[in-house]
Amino acid sequence: MISIPKLKNTDSTSFFLMAGPCAIEGRDMALRIAEHIVTVTDRLRIPYIFKGSYRKANRTKIDSFTGIGDEKALKILQEVSQTFGIPTVTDIHESHEAALAAEYVDVLQIPAFLCRQTELLAAAARTGKAVNVKKGQFLSGASMKFAAEKINEVNPDAQVILTDRGNSFGYGDLVVDYRNLPEMAAFGVPVVMDCTHSLQQPNQTSGVTGGKPKLIETIAKAAIAVGADGLFIETHFNPSEAKSDGANMLPLDQLEGLLERLVRVREAIL
């Protein structure tokens, strides 16, 4: 299990969960989503990390939603952590963002397209925070050892997490190769399956990324079955109204039932 401050239920034999909205859209929505997930994960004894991007940098169109303001969103993440006693995770995109985000959150996330950016990885490592690196859609699981090595060269004590989010399959689709999970686990780090971004259909002609959210449960069950330590799921009260990545989000009211079924899958393979 991962060693992150505020991570509860670490004596559980279950997987851990990173979940929340794609982007922080406002204070009330973040707190409501966090409260709902905390209630569910506490009951199921699933260690939980709240996820929310304080800023979205990788967008298809220049007028796409990018955020409500960096400091405002980061303070909301901090409030979520303090209110519910849980760790939080957010993306960083450039080296100078690492120190700023580290003042407010417990885990710094490196987006998949940036997983080879040496200075970004080094900056995250220097903060002393846990670092979750998304595997690039263009990489194998085995090649992610270099990302982990970069972080630990800068900070040998850094907690590295590696997350799979599918591989490019043609120009507008992704496919999940479950060999990536044991390949990354061989590096001695926790491995996570991103069950929502792996179902994206990027680069659509509309300029809005599509997705296949009906397959989230399929992706999650298979990941647990092959030994994933954690799951990453973006969720929203109303995905159709989400300002980012709504096409591949899980409706929040479906999360509890899904997690109950996943706990049973986990118990069956132990």
pLDDT of residue 243: 84
Q: Which residues contact 234 (CB under 8 A, 6 or more apart)?
A: 19, 20, 21, 22, 51, 196, 197, 245, 248, 249, 250
Residue 21 located in a structural domain:
yes
Residue 89, classed as helix, strand or coil, is strand
CA angle 69, 47, 200 (to 5 degrees): 55
pLDDT of 6: 92
Q: Residue 9 domain-assigned?
A: no
Q: What is the pLDDT of residue 203?
A: 57
Burial of 156 (0-12, 13-18, 19+ CB in 10 A): exposed
CATH classification of the domain holding 216: 3.20.20.70
The domain total for the chain is: 1
Give residue 170's pLDDT: 83
Read off the tokens for 68: 């409500």
Predicted local confidence at residue 60, as pLDDT: 65
**Which residues form the domain of 39?**
16-111+189-269
Three-state SS at 161: strand
pLDDT per residue rounded down to tens, the chain (270 residues): 688 989 999 877 889 999 999 999 999 999 999 999 999 999 999 999 999 999 987 766 776 777 799 999 999 999 999 999 999 999 999 999 999 999 999 999 999 999 999 999 999 999 999 999 999 999 999 999 999 999 999 999 999 999 999 999 988 789 999 999 999 999 999 999 999 999 977 755 455 556 677 999 999 999 999 999 999 999 999 988 888 777 788 999 999 999 999 999 999 998
Q: Looking at the domain assignment, is residue 230 inside a domain?
A: yes
Instruction: Give the pLDDT of residue 12.
Output: 73
Q: Measured between alpha carbons, how far is 234 from 154 in angstroms, rounded to an integer?
A: 30
* Model confidence, pTM: 0.94
**Does residue 120 sit within a domain?**
no
Predicted pLDDT of residue 204: 54
Task: Answer yes or no: are the C-beta atoms of 70 and 94 closer than 8 Å.
Answer: no
Share of the chain residues as helix, strand and coil, in percent rounded to the nearest 5: 40, 20, 40
Could you tell me whether strands 250-251 and 230-236 are parallel, antiparallel, or unpaired per DSSP bridges?
parallel
Per-residue pLDDT, 213: 78
**Is residue 140 situated within a structural domain?**
no
| pLDDT at residue number 205 | 46
